[in-house]
Structure 1
Amino acid sequence: MMGSRWVLLLLLGLWMAEESRGDADPYLLDQIVPLGELLGFQEPALGRDPRNLSSYDFIVVGGGTSGCTLASRLSEDPRRSVALIEAGGVENLGHLTPLLSSYTQLTASNWGFKSVPQNASCLGMNHRQCALPRGKVLGGSSSINTMIYNRGNRRDYDGWAAAGNPGWSYQEVLPYFLRSERAHLEGLEQSPYHNHSGPLSVEFVRYRTKLAEAFVEAAVEAGLPLTDYNGESQNGVSYVQATTLNGRRHSAYSAYIQPVRDLRPNLHIFTFARVTRLLVDEASKTAYGVEFLHKNQSYVFRALKEVILSAGVFGSPQILMLSGIGPEKDLRALGIPLVQALPVGRRMYDHISHFGPTFVTNTSRQTNYFSRVTTTDVLSFYTDSKADTRMSSIGGVEALAFLKSNRSELPPDWPDIEFMMTAGSLASDEGTGVKMGANFKDEVYEKLYKELAKSEQDHFTLLVMLFHPRSVGRLWLKDRNPFSPPQLDPHYYTEDRDVEVVLDGIKAALRISEMPALQRIGARLLNRIVPGCEDFQFASDDYWRCSIRTLSFTIYHQVSTCRMGPRIDPHAVVDHRLKVHGMRRLRVVDASIVPVIPAAHTNAVAFMIAEKAADMIRDEWGSSD
């Protein structure tokens, strides 16, 4: 994992770079030593060595967004014992630094999943494999993601309820979004769509460039209203609402576990503990515990009430199938005894995006090049109570726009396209962070972005994200080895209509770039050919179609591998109370239960799911005797 020592080395490196240019502050070096001592205090190793055959009321498998939230809520009752089991470790200062989010994906805090080779997408990736990052750390993906907080559209949740999932309409889930939120959003203090007393901090990104201001103004000139996309209407443009606190990442661990971990003797946290299978009584189909490895030793924990899988959209289905719960034909082919036949992993949705278009501008020193981070920026970020330097930029993302494509058949208030306005590109970190994390080929960086990095030419990128894909992927086991990663085939762009919707989005982005606010800063399309698209006329429809399939980019919003739905739904794995169909005392509580992908960044959804699940579990089991 990236540690505090890395931050100190960055600080020293920046100071030496300034010294070589002759503009270093002589007083800053005196501050580096005490700061190094401060940064040396890393999070203590959490948890304890497990004791074999320990019993807990609730065993929560996975310490990601939903797992941290759920374990915290269930342990509020001091008479209930809760075990939280996480395969990774604990976040540190590197994770808390928003600008470094792409680098966290290059560490052991990321599971490092990749798709099987794709034929219709990710053509610009090594071996045509899409990188599919997922968090392997307390906090899960909330500790390595881009921190965007977007709940989605009310129609998404009303559709869930209408499909046979009572209790999941917008009016019924909104209170759980609000329960988690502690908003610090200037201008929205009186909004009924925001809460100010929850555990999770949500604020506007504290660092803002003139590029973002010009984009928001141009989007308004193009006809998009200013909006609170988590409020009454999603359509429009807004600066980003992020899960940060005073400019620093605020993960599920930071919000839900860290404040209470030393205050609740009934909450036991186990890190670097890998669950390998569920313990199930096959006769009664009752889950009664888990088996896991810790320091290369096998342990068993028993659940007095429930086992709850919160291992994520890839981990939860994998554990189910390893335990005999999944597609009968697939499990029998691997020699796994069947416990319950269910379509685990048979559906997987994601918001595939296009990395672009990129626009160069006539501004100066606005793009978030890492080379522009100064020693003062670093010192201010780590020592000031409220950080607002470049270090607070959430991977460069500054504004979002939500709109409908020309071919959309959805109601007027239900967008099918999102723009993520980013003050940079692969050039921002000279190909060392985003490029490697996303598995882009060297050729893509060399031909498209290297010259931008060398010249430090100001530019910005509009990532075009597809909200309602028709392409559906799936997940399956490679073998019976619990340490083998699952096989992941997202099937991006296998439906041509998905490409056409993204193409509509690119055309809308180009129209916004022609508005006066962006023309005043000289915004113009980066005139470089995407590798592999040389046979097409630059900026023609066919060129963009080629670019869409080449510069495919996931924001890791995968869902639905343990889909929620009634028993009559042939794709459902859990019911509306998140209980695994046909099983007793076993639930899944994470984004894998999402039945249809919403117009949302799914981390906010994962918080909501866990908050709602906590109430359902408490309602069922009541107070302890």
Structure 2
Amino acid sequence: MTQPSTTSCTARPQRSCSWIHGRVMGGTSGLNYMIYMRGNPLDFDEWEQQGNPGWSYKDVFPYFLKSEDNKNPDLVDPYYHNTGGYQSVSIHAYQDKNIFPIINAFRELGLPLIDHNAGSQLGVALVQATVGNGQRVTTNDAFITPIRNKRRNLVIRTNANVARVLINRKTKKAYGVEYYTNKTLNRVLARKEVIVSAGTVNSAKVLMLSGVGPAEHLQSRGIKVIHNLPVGHNLHDHTTLDGLVFSINKSSTIVDDIQRNADLQYYQQTRRGPLATSTLLQITAMVQTKYAQDSRPEIQYLLDATNVEDFFTDPILTSQTNVNAMAYYNGITVRPILLNPLSRGIVLLNDSDPVLGTPLVYPNTFTEEIDVLRIIDGIKQSLYLLETESLSKLGVQLVGNSLPACVQYEFATDEYWECLIRGYTSSVYHPAGTCKMGPKEDHAAVVDARLRVHGIKNLRVMDASIMPQVTRGNTNAPVIMIAEMGSDFIKDTWLNQQQEQENAFSENREFRSKTKWKFLNYFWEMLKEM
């Protein structure tokens, strides 16, 4: 849970929002919406412009292709996609009766039908997802399962909590990791280097526990400072709201228990049908607001299937726990997601139990007023959907129930929408930035362009925490790309070092050989003179 806030999550219990943590093999790819979206090309060009050579879109594009195994080559632009990689990417095999009318409604508003991973992102699309044969394909399924128990150099420890990275205080070189299994402290040593890949919140936690972080904060937690860096700063996320709900009066997909059981059996037998899909989350659209400063989108729409009666009985419970299978719904929760937040938060260590305790997460969401204004503009644009012919045929209407924390405001006014945004804040779980990538002269940077922690040898970070600015779109695909690039950085480093050692050995051997023959020749000349 995030720390109590006065600017966001104010209607939630304790004024706090839940941030889901993927504590499973494959991380949050085992829990997410499965959307495969790379981000805007200008996002990566911006990273490079901030002092990170090798991270332009031209540079990262091959690494997106490297891991991709696209199952719909006939539906996508082949220039922007690939087959044969480890990660399955596919359009969902099943679309219910409301999918294409909703897409057509966006098109009536002037949005083109596009591939969000090709060219411009402004438009509407059927999402590409990390699915294969009707089921989720996590990074564990894609990258680890095929090699598990087959490679002698891969050892996996589950139910393990990292205590710290071991760093030599004199040489500032990482040489291993300490971790707990149950209450037993274990140690594993590294001959070459240590990679931290614990996610935006916990990578910051691990570094700070290891003595790498803001000096004053570490000292307050009784941790000896090895290197003073702004670890935990620059925290930001893609945020949205609960409470913007449309009812579908003529095209509900709610069925009786007999049909649900039949759907379940059909899915188990074929991996097809209503349960082989994320239903309305197959649709995504991106738009700009009136505050746009360049060609990139600022708002992404995702649509959650919902049961209207359940939602307005307990909006907090229903928004945080999906009490109905997503295939069966009579309403749409419209989520305008802010893609380019200016607000920044921080992650700090728990003071009572820094090692095993939950870190303190201060998102500081909506501390910048422009973030709220952009979402309000996104809400207003989404209301134009109600005027389209496509949604009129479905009987789609705005549900005019005011949520409890906002009844003092007139419904559908800017003041009401701001109350919803600040009160019923919702994350789509794309936190980024706490180990920011940047050059040494960037005082906010933690890692360099090769993902090496500044000031510490043999230590890298590889996850969304290194993003200087979160990508505009879902973050699963960019994190896979970061891992692909990082793996090449590691190989380049150690293969080059090995080559240098071999060259040095060869040069030394050649020098010794030349010296030996020079000495023998000199000795022979001396003998001849005698």
State if a TM-score over 0.5 links the two structures.
yes
**Match of residue 576, structure 1, among 449, 455, 461:** 449
Choose 574-583 or 495-504, whichever is displaced more.
495-504
CA contact (8 A) 1:426 1:435 kept: no
CA contact (8 A) 2:212 2:225 kept: yes
Shift of 1:457: 7.1
- Pairing 1:377–2:263 present: yes
Q: Distance in 2 between matches of 1:547 and 1:145?
A: 24
Shift of 1:435: 5.0
* Bigger radius of gyration: 2
**Match of residue 498, structure 1, among 371, 374, 381:** 371
Choose 548-557 or 249-258, whichever is displaced more.
548-557
- Pairing 1:488–2:375 present: no
CA contact (8 A) 1:205 1:242 kept: yes
Q: 1:465 aligns to what?
A: 337
Q: 1:52 aligns to what?
A: none
- Pairing 1:420–2:266 present: no
Q: Distance in 2 between matches of 1:170 and 1:576?
A: 14
- Pairing 1:474–2:346 present: yes
Q: 2:111 aligns to what?
A: 224
Shift of 1:396: 4.6
Q: Distance in 2 between matches of 1:275 and 1:481?
A: 11
Shift of 1:190: 4.8
Q: Distance in 2 between matches of 1:425 and 1:541?
A: 26
The runs of at least 4 aligned residues of structure 1 exceeding 4 Å deviation read 369-373, 425-432, 434-440
Q: Distance in 1 between matches of 2:329 and 2:268?
A: 28
Code of the aligned partner of 1:237: V
Q: Distance in 1 between matches of 2:68 and 2:121?
A: 18
Cα-to-partner distance string for 1:94-123 (whole Å, 9 max, x where unaligned): xxxxxxxxxxxxxxxxxxxx1001111112
Q: 2:426 aligns to what?
A: 553
Q: 1:120 aligns to what?
A: 7
- Pairing 1:541–2:414 present: yes
- Pairing 1:390–2:274 present: yes
Shift of 1:497: 1.2
Question: 1:99-138 maps to which residues of 2 (within 5 A)?
Answer: 114-138=1-25
CA contact (8 A) 2:342 2:371 kept: yes
Code of the aligned partner of 2:240: S
Consecutive unaligned residues of structure 2, counting only runs of 5 or more, are: 503-530
**Match of residue 514, structure 1, among 387, 391, 395:** 387
Choose 132-141 or 547-556, whichever is displaced more.
547-556
Q: Distance in 2 between matches of 1:370 and 1:605?
A: 40
CA contact (8 A) 2:308 2:331 kept: no
Code of the aligned partner of 2:385: I
Question: 1:315-394 maps to which residues of 2 (within 5 A)?
Answer: 315-366=202-253, 374-384=260-270, 387-394=271-278
Shift of 1:211: 2.2
Equivalent position SS for 1:391: coil
Q: Distance in 2 between matches of 1:578 and 1:427?
A: 48
Equivalent position SS for 2:367: coil
Code of the aligned partner of 2:97: K
Consecutive unaligned residues of structure 1, counting only runs of 5 or more, are: 1-113
Alpha-carbon spacing, 1:343–1:373, altered in 2? closer, same or farther (3 Å): farther
Shift of 1:398: 2.1
Choose 358-367 or 149-158, whichever is displaced more.
358-367
Q: Distance in 1 between matches of 2:258 and 2:23?
A: 30
Alpha-carbon spacing, 1:354–1:481, altered in 2? closer, same or farther (3 Å): closer
Equivalent position SS for 2:452: coil
Question: 1:286-305 maps to which residues of 2 (within 5 A)?
Answer: 286-305=173-192
Task: Name the Cα RMSD after superposition.
Answer: 2.4
Shift of 1:509: 0.3
Question: 1:403-418 maps to which residues of 2 (within 5 A)?
Answer: 403-411=287-295, 414-418=296-300
Equivalent position SS for 2:62: helix
Code of the aligned partner of 1:620: T
Q: 1:94 aligns to what?
A: none
Q: Distance in 2 between matches of 1:377 and 1:117?
A: 42
Q: Distance in 2 between matches of 1:512 and 1:408?
A: 21
Choose 159-168 or 416-425, whichever is displaced more.
416-425
Question: 1:102-251 maps to which residues of 2 (within 5 A)?
Answer: 114-185=1-72, 187-251=74-138
CA contact (8 A) 2:300 2:338 kept: yes
Cα-to-partner distance string for 1:583-612 (whole Å, 9 max, x where unaligned): 000000111100111102111111000000
Alpha-carbon spacing, 1:323–1:373, altered in 2? closer, same or farther (3 Å): farther
CA contact (8 A) 1:359 1:526 kept: yes
Equivalent position SS for 2:146: coil
Q: Distance in 2 between matches of 1:300 and 1:190?
A: 48
Alpha-carbon spacing, 1:595–1:228, altered in 2? closer, same or farther (3 Å): same
Q: Distance in 2 between matches of 1:527 and 1:431?
A: 14
Question: 1:25-64 maps to which residues of 2 (within 5 A)?
Answer: none
Q: 2:153 aligns to what?
A: 266
Equivalent position SS for 1:423: strand
Q: Distance in 1 between matches of 2:462 and 2:130?
A: 21
Shift of 1:296: 2.7
Q: Distance in 1 between matches of 2:285 and 2:423?
A: 23
Cα-to-partner distance string for 1:40-97 (whole Å, 9 max, x where unaligned): xxxxxxxxxxxxxxxxxxxxxxxxxxxxxxxxxxxxxxxxxxxxxxxxxxxxxxxxxx
**Match of residue 601, structure 1, among 474, 484, 487:** 474
Shift of 1:397: 1.2
CA contact (8 A) 1:227 1:234 kept: yes
CA contact (8 A) 1:149 1:243 kept: yes
Alpha-carbon spacing, 1:437–1:517, altered in 2? closer, same or farther (3 Å): closer
- Pairing 1:280–2:280 present: no
Q: Distance in 2 between matches of 1:320 and 1:436?
A: 34
Q: 1:311 aligns to what?
A: 198
Code of the aligned partner of 2:470: I
Cα-to-partner distance string for 1:448-486 (whole Å, 9 max, x where unaligned): xx9x99xx8722121110011111111111225300111
Cα-to-partner distance string for 1:472-529 (whole Å, 9 max, x where unaligned): 1111112253001110011111111111100100111001221111111111101211
Q: Distance in 2 between matches of 1:517 and 1:272?
A: 50
Code of the aligned partner of 2:25: L
Shift of 1:347: 1.4
Shift of 1:383: 2.5
Equivalent position SS for 1:136: coil
CA contact (8 A) 1:366 1:423 kept: no
Alpha-carbon spacing, 1:251–1:430, altered in 2? closer, same or farther (3 Å): farther
Choose 506-515 or 187-196, whichever is displaced more.
187-196
Shift of 1:155: 0.5
Q: Distance in 1 between matches of 2:40 and 2:151?
A: 36
Alpha-carbon spacing, 1:357–1:436, altered in 2? closer, same or farther (3 Å): closer
Alpha-carbon spacing, 1:324–1:373, altered in 2? closer, same or farther (3 Å): farther
Q: Distance in 2 between matches of 1:613 and 1:137?
A: 22
Aligned residues: 495
Q: Distance in 2 between matches of 1:246 and 1:429?
A: 32
Cα-to-partner distance string for 1:299-344 (whole Å, 9 max, x where unaligned): 1110000000001111111011011100011111122101000000
CA contact (8 A) 1:355 1:464 kept: no
Choose 374-383 or 300-309, whichever is displaced more.
374-383
Q: Distance in 1 between matches of 2:313 and 2:192?
A: 49
CA contact (8 A) 1:287 1:584 kept: yes
Q: Distance in 1 between matches of 2:2 and 2:278?
A: 25
Shift of 1:282: 0.4
Code of the aligned partner of 2:488: D
